[in-house]
């Protein structure tokens, strides 16, 4: 087979302690998965069924990379998140065996054009422009389950220029990792390479050009991103 032009490179995420990379197939994101964050977004944190949105695979950005302040927003925000990578097909998978499908875990930063997202939300429109823009998914090196086990508790925090902005615990996830995988697998045939960003705790806020944003998750280390001024 030939292509009419060269196909784009395969999007991928780094793997801790390896030169091999994890090929990314899809990026799923969970909305409002910590009660205190649902409250700060003006929503009832009752355990309503989770909802999902997606980012394109080529939105993925590695640890330590610069992110240019994106266009069309004046409220560019960070969201610290635990990232789950799927390594084995999951279709109609029960909660009890869902973790068998996890390849590894990483730290993520779900970058958001909050003003555009809120306008879309309030008008009942899709979130894509607020959430799925270029370079909107910072994902650190994946740590294989064989090295770090499964994460159900432990500190998740974020600082901007050294000031702590988010400080929570993974045990406060409204929907746990196995529950999210099970629910998603009843709606999509999950395949190796699929990535899930599991939602952010309270304390979301803006990033400005020059800021350095660091996300930490106990057992996974740190994820660092510097925001660069847009070129005119
Ligand atoms: Mn998020």
How many A from CA of 118 to the centre of ligand 1?
13
What's the pLDDT band for 217 if we cut at 50, 70, 90?
very high
Q: How many CB atoms lie within 10 A of CB 103?
A: 20
59 CA to middle of ligand 1, Å?
14
CA atoms of 161 and 226, how far apart (whole Å): 10
Distance (Å, rounded) from C-alpha 100 to C-alpha 112?
A: 31
What is the share, in percent, of the chain residues with pLDDT greater than 90? 92
Q: What is the pLDDT of residues 12-39, one digit of tens each?
A: 999 999 999 999 999 999 998 998 888 8
pLDDT at 225 (0 to 100): 98
- Residue 231: pLDDT band by 50, 70, 90 thresholds? confident
Q: Where are the alpha helices (DSSP H) in 124-161?
A: 128-131, 145-148
Q: How far is the CA of 80 from the centre of ligand 1 (A)?
A: 8
Q: How far is the CA of 90 from the centre of ligand 1 (A)?
A: 22
Is beta strand 155-160 parallel, antiparallel or unpaired with respect to 112-113? unpaired
Domains and CATH numbers, the chain: 12-228 (3.90.850.10)
pTM tops 0.75, yes or no: yes
Cα(30) to centroid(ligand 1), Å? 6
How close is the Cα of 23 to the center of ligand 1, in Å? 21
What confidence score (pLDDT) does residue 211 get?
98
d(Cα 222, Cα 108) in Å, to the nearest integer? 10
What is the distance in A from the centroid of ligand 1 to the CA of 85? 16
Q: Average pLDDT of the chain?
A: 96
Among 47, 40, 59, smallest CA distance to 137 is for 59
Ligand 1 centroid distance, CA of 146 (Å): 26
Residues 6+ apart with CB under 8 A from 166: 78, 80, 156, 157, 158, 200, 201, 202, 203, 204
Q: Is the dihedral of CA 92, 97, 98, 100 positive or negative?
A: negative
Question: Cα(17) to centroid of ligand 1, in Å?
Answer: 27
Tokens coding 98? 């869902």
pLDDT per residue over 45-89, tens digit each? 777 899 999 999 999 999 999 999 999 999 999 999 999 999 999
Distance 124 CA to ligand 1 centre (A): 18
φ, ψ of residue 142 in degrees (nearest 5): -80, 135
- Calculate how far, in angstroms, residue 229's C-alpha sits from the geometric centre of ligand 1: 23
Count of CA atoms in the C-beta half-sphere (13 A) of 115: 9
Ligand 1 centroid to Cα of residue 4, in Å, is: 36
For residues 113 and 37, the answer to whether their CB atoms sit within 8 Å is no
How far, in Å, is the centroid of ligand 1 from the Cα of 78?
9
pLDDT category at 95 given cuts 50, 70, 90 is very high
> Residues 156-166: pLDDT tens digits?
999 999 999 99
């Amino acid at each position: 087979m030939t292509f009419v032009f060269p196909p784009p490179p395969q999007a991928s995420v780094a793997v801790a302690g390896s030169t091999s990379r994890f090929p990314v197939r899809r990026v799923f994101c969970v909305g409002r998965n910590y009660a205190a964050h649902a409250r700060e977004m003006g929503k009832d944190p009752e355990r309503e069924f989770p909802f999902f949105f997606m980012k394109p695979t080529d939105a993925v950005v590695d640890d330590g990379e610069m992110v240019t302040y994106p266009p069309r927003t004046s409220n560019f925000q960070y969201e610290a998140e635990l990232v789950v990578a799927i390594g084995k097909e999951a279709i109609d998978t029960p909660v009890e065996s869902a973790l068998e499908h996890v390849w590894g875990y990483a730290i993520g930063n779900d970058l958001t054009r909050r003003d555009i997202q809120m306008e879309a939300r309030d008008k009942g429109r899709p979130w894509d422009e607020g959430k799925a823009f270029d370079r909107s998914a910072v994902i650190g090196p994946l740590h294989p389950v064989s090295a770090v086990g499964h994460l159900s508790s432990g500190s998740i925090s974020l600082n901007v220029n050294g000031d702590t902005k988010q400080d929570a615990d993974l045990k406060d996830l409204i929907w746990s990792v196995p529950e999210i995988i099970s629910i998603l697998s009843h709606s999509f045939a999950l395949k190796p390479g699929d990535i899930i960003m599991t939602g952010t705790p309270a304390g979301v806020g803006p990033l400005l050009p020059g800021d350095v944003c660091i996300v930490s998750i106990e057992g996974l280390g740190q994820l660092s991103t510097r925001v660069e001024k847009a070129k005119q």
